[in-house]
Amino acid sequence: MLEELRKQIDTIDDKIAALYLERQNIVRQIGEEKAANRTALADPSREKKIIARVTKQADDSQKMYLKRVFETIMETSRSYQRQIVTPSTPLTDALHRVLMEGKKYFPVSSSVACQGVEGSYSSIAADKLFEIADITYFRNFEGVFQAVEKGLCDYGVLPIENSAAGSVGAVYDLMKKHNFYIVRSVKLRVCHYLLARKGATLAGIREVYSHEQAISQCSEFLQSLGANVKVIPCANTAVAAEKVASSDRTDIACISSRDCADIYGLGILQGNVQNNASNYTRFICISKNLEIFAPAGRISIMMTLPHESGSLNRVLNKFSTLGLNLTKLESRPLPGTDFEFLFYFDFEGRIEDADTLALIAELDQGSDQFTFLGSYAEVTQ
């Protein structure tokens, strides 16, 4: 009985495949017409009508399944049409111009903006990215964005996420306020140290200063110090080291980088105090210019989506259809809206690929707010 039913399924599948290929042939012809007439690939109103028509044939128990099937069919149709026509937009024109310039390689030296003071993890990341980094320090993350926007520095280096503590929300929130492009990223292994003035002892520490992200990454160690030790957030791990070094107290300490011990003349009370030995922070390098340095295999975008059921899933299906690996999805609330969000996507892909470029053009045209953040390489240190 089971084998007989499976044979019936096989026969039906063969018919579905034949009809699907017949449909794709017509889809190709429509794509060619759209290319000739410069018509948008997507036609949401027609797609809704098709789904409404076909789902009338199903009872309530099957309507949702049939809807999903036709949504997938239409997504693959658009993907096929993208091979035929890539809509011309100001963004795609700009990307084409950059690509036509030929291969460019990441600069060896440049002026770089970092948050904090000497010894910060951002400055360590900058030294990993550039062989010679002329670093200017700024009080906060916004100062880094402004320095790049105003041309005070060619590039800026900012932390974006940590493997243990998650995303750096303050940076994501600033990303929607400023104009910039990501030109490279670095994944840096972060080892935290408890530092204090020479002569201090672990048992005598009563206050520990550090950045809130480092505090989160070292929560287990801090708890082990006991309830009598006060943990105080600072703007930056290196700022915390500077504060401890400038004090005459031996009962305060900081969680900072190993470099800070040498820079500020502090002693190491304990090393590797982070919760996880595999503790990595990802930093982005930003520029005010659209630059793509070889080899660029990662793309970042941000966009709004309609405040309706299934809107995010439809976008994710586009990536899935093209076989693009989504490596990061972050949402941040849009101020002044009724629970609407701005979505950040990182995915593996090459902007030179026609399908990838066409997808970006489609997302650009289909979103009220769309920003191409960059095509770049990520390095690990």
Annotated binding residues, written as ranges, equal 6, 23, 34, 43, 47, 77, 81
Identify residue 71 by its one-letter amino acid code: E
- CA nearest to 212, candidates 159, 278, 145, 172: 159
Is 20 in a helix, a strand, or coil? helix
Q: Are 194 and 255 in contact (CB under 8 A)?
A: yes
Give the count of alpha carbons within 13 A of 317, CB side only: 17
Cis preceding linkage at 44, omega within 30: no
**Long-range contacts from 162-165, C-beta under 8 angstroms, 24+ separation:** 162/190, 162/213, 162/217, 162/279, 162/280, 162/281, 162/282, 163/276, 163/278, 163/279, 163/280, 163/281, 164/216, 164/217, 164/274, 164/275, 164/276, 164/279, 165/213, 165/216, 165/217
Burial category of 41 from C-beta neighbours within 10 Å (exposed 0-12, middle 13-18, buried 19 and up): buried
Kindly state the tokens that stand for 132: 């010679």
Kindly state the tokens that stand for 362: 């489609």
Cβ contacts of 144 within 8 Å, gap of 6 or more = 113, 114, 115, 138, 156, 157, 158, 286
CA distance 375 to 95: 10
Cβ contacts of 18 within 8 Å, gap of 6 or more = none
Annotated binding site for substrate: 6, 23, 34, 43, 47, 77, 81
CA distance 156 to 284: 8
Any idea what DSSP says for residue 5? H
- Catalytic residue numbers read 281, 283
